[in-house]
Structure 1
């Protein structure tokens, strides 16, 4: 079964995370630390020219942020 998540550029993923309430609290090189009230903090490697694979998009939203898969798909506009 193919992964239903889209691939996203780093800037698009940052917009998705911002929409969930995440804000950049620290940056060192290409790595950005994001935090949001009531959500786990995460570190995001921001490489604007590269695309995140569908698996990476799912991993960030489902495993790291803690969204249900259906919620994550709605957030990225895939469902």
Structure 2
């Protein structure tokens, strides 16, 4: 659901501000990814696990409970 919101907002920003809007969105996504990676990395380290892709998903901060329940209605 939030990914759809993000796409709608990003599209409108790009439509209104062109390349400057696209660049701003790119920088924001990069910053979010770096911060999230640091947070999950710190959590993995705090429980004494190795930093790797498997543990990134195991200790991820994503709420997959609601995502897994979402089923789009396709007509």
What TM-score do the two structures reach when normalised by structure 2? 0.22
Identify the structure with the greater helix proportion: 2
Identify the structure with the greater strand proportion: 1
What TM-score do the two structures reach when normalised by structure 1? 0.22
Highest RCO, 1 vs 2 (Cα 8 Å, sep ≥ 6): 1
When Rg is computed on C-alpha atoms for both structures, the one with the higher figure is 2
